[in-house]
Amino acid sequence: MAELNTEITNIFQEARKDLYYPPLKLEYADVPSIQMDFKSGKYTILVNKDIMKIFSKNAIKGLFHHELNHWVKHPYNLKTIIMEQSMIEEENHEKANLIRNLYDDVVVTLDLIVNKCLDDILEFYREFESQSQLDSLLRTFFEDITGLNFYPGNLKSELRERIQRLRRIDFLDTSRTRIRKNIKEFVEIIGDLIEGFRVPFSFFGIHDFPEEQVERALLEIAEESDFDEFRKVADTTGRWIGIAKGEKSSYQFERPDISWYLSRASRYVVYIKPLSKEGSMYPDEIKDFEIDDSVDSYSAIDSYGKILPGIARKYTMREFEGYSENPVPDAVIVMDSSGSMRNPDTEVSHAVIGAFAIARNYLENGAKVGVINFSGRNIELRPSTDVRKIYETLKIYQGYGTTLHLDELEKYVWEVDAEDYILISDTGIQNLNEILEFFSKLKRRITVIWVKSDVKNYEEFRRCWEAFRNRLPPSTTFIEVEREEDIPGIVVGKAFREIYA
């Protein structure tokens, strides 16, 4: 990496000082002028090594102010970028990324001059000629607000009425509610002028950020959003990629976004009965030592080292029940994603929320979790601690028939060392008799969760549910989930009545 020019470094440090030293560093890169680096995950400003040949010192300082202020003021974080992008797509999908960049630049420029009294950016506008009527419109708007010369060029007279419309937008209010209103008005004003427009500053989008940052931002948004709003936002990220490449089927599934369900499921704790107990004895109380008592119970300290009537003392022991070091076993969640179940991408799926809550509680107790997602085929994941793969496999929606493919299930159970099996379904399984026969002989802890909220033909599905209850052994745990509020009542490995009896 080339060594930074001392003069450029000094200009950068002056710009940082003006903005109270945001924690960003400077590096040379093959960029048009100056821009933020998002892909590396580091806080870095990238600069063209020939920048001093392109712009004056004051213009460069103004550019540094502008890029740094994106970090300091707006959009400030990836969550805001994703939310803005989603809002703009509702108004103008085709040019959403360009419009978002332009909107953010307006906010940053006004904030520099109006709030921070930093006008070096004017020198950049003087040296960078107006490129279009939209550029001239915004420069004229800046002049109207600040009284300073932004070198707008020749703005067509018929566009001047839009200045007053722009003045009605409070760009410096960056609250989420206000941004939504601002963006709607901004798109209406400039939307027909965006064609061919070139953003004068660095241009970036969601794809410029590391995937881990996008995932964290989506999780934050999920905590603040309802299901429908989050679904629109998740679509905006454009992160849908194929997940199923197996040889067993030609079906292809998109990699699901799990953030909203992960956030929702984190509210719920699921009780998992530990697999084994270990008994031991502990000293309970001190009593007089009798001559025929075992010497093992004698307390030398409490007896002052003497074995005399009235002085010698002993411990009485009480049994203590504890749990082994790894009391929660590995588990396999058998997930129904047939067409009769809710599609978790279009409706709130209680099955998915419950499955996520169960998986999380096993993982937090040190266990591994496997998944069999069944419908058109069995999509299998062997027990692991790979959180993302577990949740993504649980959320895949196949939407075909309700067939739990028995040959593959038997092979999976034979090869996998897991003690707990949790079936989550509306129970309307097409090969019901075969499955009941299999589970009735399976020497494992079985929990069956009937998702009643997904049932459309109640009487038919109720008969299937009763068949489960009647034909599976008494050791099976049966749970009914009709509303999200029922999820905290899920108990694995022990009947609910045994806990609250």
Angstrom distance (rounded) from CA 61 to CA 16: 10
Residue 258 lies in a domain: no
Please write the tens of the pLDDT for every residue from 229-243.
Answer: 887 787 777 532 222
Nearest-5° Cα angle at 489, 469 to 416: 65
Residues 300 and 338 in one domain: no
Q: Which residues contact 37 (CB under 8 A, 6 or more apart)?
A: 27, 29, 44, 45, 46
CATH number at residue 480: 3.40.50.410
pLDDT at 250 over 60: no
The pLDDT value recorded for residue 304 is 55
Burial class (CB in 10 A: 0-12, 13-18, 19+), 50: exposed
The pLDDT value recorded for residue 90 is 81
Residue 157 lies in a domain: yes
Q: Which residues contact 239 (CB under 8 A, 6 or more apart)?
A: 211, 214, 255, 257
pLDDT at 283 over 60: no
Higher-confidence position of 455 and 15? 15
Burial class (CB in 10 A: 0-12, 13-18, 19+), 334: buried
The pLDDT value recorded for residue 290 is 64
Residues 148 and 211 in one domain: yes
Angstrom distance (rounded) from CA 372 to CA 425: 12
The pLDDT value recorded for residue 323 is 44
| Mean pLDDT computed over 93-113 | 90
Please write the tens of the pLDDT for every residue from 469-494.
Answer: 999 998 899 999 998 888 888 877 65
pLDDT at 313 over 90: no
| DSSP structure string for 313-346 | EEEEEEEEEEE-SS-SPPEEEEEE-STTS--TTT
| Mean pLDDT computed over 297-310 | 55
| Mean pLDDT computed over 438-442 | 93
Query: What is the b/e burial string over 184-223, where b = at least 16 CB atoms within 10 angstroms of the residue's CB?
Result: eebbebbbebbeebebbbbebebebbeeebbbbbbbbbbe
The pLDDT value recorded for residue 242 is 27
Residue 252 lies in a domain: no
pLDDT at 306 over 80: no
The pLDDT value recorded for residue 226 is 80
Greatest distance between any 2 Cα atoms in the chain: 114
Q: Which of 466, 430, 463 is nearest to 448 (CA)?
A: 466
Q: Which of 76-90, 162-176, 301-315 has the lowest mean pLDDT?
A: 301-315
Of 210, 229, 248, the domain-final residue? 229
Please write the tens of the pLDDT for every residue from 167-181.
Answer: 999 999 988 889 989
Higher-confidence position of 49 and 238? 49
Residues 69 and 133 in one domain: yes
Residue 245 lies in a domain: no
Tokens of 390: 């577990």
The pLDDT value recorded for residue 352 is 95
DSSP H helix total and E strand total for the chain: 18, 13
Task: Give the mean pLDDT of the chain.
Answer: 83
Q: Which residues contact 455 (CB under 8 A, 6 or more apart)?
A: 426, 428, 461, 462
Higher-confidence position of 289 and 111? 111
| Mean pLDDT computed over 205-233 | 80
Distances, alpha carbon 17 to alpha carbons 46, 123, 145, 410, in Å: 18, 19, 26, 67
| Mean pLDDT computed over 344-350 | 89
Residues 406 and 301 in one domain: no
Q: Which of 247-251, 401-405, 496-500 has the lowest mean pLDDT?
A: 247-251
Residue 262 lies in a domain: no
Residues 120 and 5 in one domain: yes
Q: Which of 353, 364, 154 is nearest to 265 (CA)?
A: 353
pLDDT at 273 over 80: no
Residues 336 and 319 in one domain: no
Q: Which of 125-129, 279-283, 340-344 has the lowest mean pLDDT?
A: 279-283
189, amino acid identity: I
Residue 234 lies in a domain: no
Angstrom distance (rounded) from CA 360 to CA 86: 29
Residues 202 and 336 in one domain: no
Cis status, amide bond into 75, omega within 30 of 0 = yes
Distances, alpha carbon 333 to alpha carbons 125, 420, 490, in Å: 60, 8, 13
Residues 164 and 290 in one domain: no
The pLDDT value recorded for residue 168 is 95
Distances, alpha carbon 165 to alpha carbons 132, 182, 190, 196, in Å: 19, 11, 10, 22
Of 171, 194, 229, the domain-final residue? 229
pLDDT at 14 over 60: yes
Residue 31 lies in a domain: yes
Backbone angles phi, psi at 477, to 5 degrees: -95, 130
Please write the tens of the pLDDT for every residue from 118-147.
Answer: 999 999 999 998 889 999 999 999 999 999
Residues 205 and 308 in one domain: no
Task: Please give, one letter per residue, the 3-state secondary structure of 179-204.
Answer: HHHHHHHHHHHHHHHCCCCCCCCCCC
Provide the domain limits for residue 458: 331-500
Provide the angle, in degrees to the nearest 10, between the axes of the packed helices 133-146 and 96-110: 20
Residues 308 and 172 in one domain: no
Residues 95 and 168 in one domain: yes
Strands 44-47 and 34-37: antiparallel
pLDDT at 116 over 60: yes
* pLDDT > 70 fraction of the chain, expressed in percent and rounded: 82
pLDDT at 321 over 60: no
The pLDDT value recorded for residue 36 is 85
pLDDT at 425 over 50: yes
Q: Indicate whether this model's pTM tops 0.75.
A: no
The pLDDT value recorded for residue 296 is 52
Residues 378 and 313 in one domain: no
The pLDDT value recorded for residue 409 is 94
Question: Edge to edge, what strands does the sheet with 369-374 contain?
Answer: 378-384, 369-374, 331-336, 420-425, 445-451, 477-481
Q: Which of 62, 57, 37 is nearest to 47 (CA)?
A: 37
pLDDT at 460 over 70: yes
Is the separation of the CB atoms in 449 and 423 below 8 Å? yes
pLDDT at 275 over 70: no
Question: Edge to edge, what strands does the sheet with 34-37 contain?
Answer: 25-28, 44-47, 34-37
pLDDT at 217 over 80: yes
* pLDDT > 90 fraction of the chain, expressed in percent and rounded: 45
Domain count, the chain: 3
Strands 477-481 and 445-451: parallel
pLDDT at 400 over 50: yes
| Mean pLDDT computed over 254-272 | 80
Residue 271 lies in a domain: no
pLDDT at 412 over 90: yes
